[in-house]
Chains A and B, each alone.
Chain A
Amino acid sequence: MAVTHQYLPLDQVRPGMILSDVLLDAHGQVLLPQGAVLTENTLSLMPRHGIDMLPIAAPGISPEEQARQQEAHRARLDYLFRKYDADNPADAATSMLHSYVSSYRLGAPV
């Protein structure tokens, strides 16, 4: 689930670009799924939903680059969670948060 994406203002988004992320409206309802190819028609509807930025998939990331980013994410997570002890029962909730955020950033618990 380590998605590489960039946020682009609506006026820079062109038909054919790919949504790198699920698009939600203000009520948390799904407007478009992740991976949807944007069309002129869908783009014209965005202002009505108050959306002026879209997460767009960055094209052509090499597997090496992807691995490098994974590694950077992993190192950063290790650093942010540097004070918690996975074996300490008192840290059980911190441990769950660590596991969930790892899944979120890296696609799998570490």
Chain B
Amino acid sequence: MNPGQAQLTADDIVAHLDDLPSLPVVVMELLNSIDQEDVDISVLAKKVSYDQALTAKTLRLANSSQYGLQVKATTIQQAITYLGFQTTRSLIMSAAITGCFPEGRCAGFDDKEFWRHSVATAACAKVLARQIRFNQDYAFTAGLLHNIGRLVLVSSFPEQYAQVIAYRAEHDCTVLEAERTVLGVDHVQAGVALAERWNFSDTMRLAIGNYPTPEAPGAGFLAALIHVANAIVCALDLAQSGDDMVPHVSLVAWNALGLSEETYLQLFRETELRYDEITAALLSQAG
């Protein structure tokens, strides 16, 4: 394909998905089981343990103060016993996905900055979820993955994506606008395509597909939560991305959360505290 000439279509994205790095089989099994409760936990725990790097990273995250373990977990089975299956599963997925994309393939795309933003959004989404008694594991995972479509585009079309970055810098527009203008597709479409290929749950797919437009019919509550978390992370400048821009915040999403100013101030603080720690757990070895 001739960069800059032809616009891409959704079909092009799908056609390139097979070239993406694949997740460990056991992680795919975990992803597929996210909405079901009757998986055989001991079998999965055992399979994860065969992957030492994944196990180490998962345990580092599990032992961070975010999860408040009184005793350090030293095996996946222990983590499940202490934290429950749902939470451990979300930790394993986070650990696997943050290590799976190759870095430095696209000029101008800062992988570290990307992951800082993703991890910060995950941390913020989890804090928000606790405030409003929403499932914290869903919130954390969706926060981590909300932008995953950018990595899909960067990995599949690195030259074209370099032009997206240049266009965005030149016009100071949103990432979505730059992508649509230069590529003809955007990272939300790419994220949904990946979510389908990787069999993410409906909840997760809806959140990835609707986080920029949480007021769309059927967008789902998680999309609203991630929408707000994403904006907070930009406003707090957590990713330390030079030309970052706070996106338009949807009044529908904002009102759906219904939090007071006092609560926001408290959760800004808590997000900043958690962020440092999760970054250390998830990103230290990647970097």
Interface residues of A (CB under 8 A from B): 7, 21-22, 24-28, 48-53, 55, 76-77, 80-84, 90-94, 96-101, 103-104
Contacts and interface: CB of A to CB of B under 8 A. Distances in A.
Contacts of B63: 50
Chain B contact residues: helix, strand, loop or mixed:
helix
B265 A27 contact: no
Interface in B45-77: 63-70
Interface of B: 63-70, 130, 172, 231-232, 234-237, 244-246, 248-251, 253-255, 261, 264-265, 268-270, 273, 276-277
A98 B249 CA distance: 10
Contacts of A49: 65, 68
A84 B64 contact: no
B76 to A, nearest CB: 18
B177 to A, nearest CB: 11
Contacts of A97: 231-232, 235, 246, 249, 254
B248 A24 contact: no
A101 B68 contact: no
A44 B68 CA distance: 17
B65 A80 contact: no
10 contacts: A22-B269, A50-B65, A77-B235, A80-B246, A93-B249, A94-B231, A94-B246, A97-B249, A100-B261, A104-B269
B65 A101 contact: no
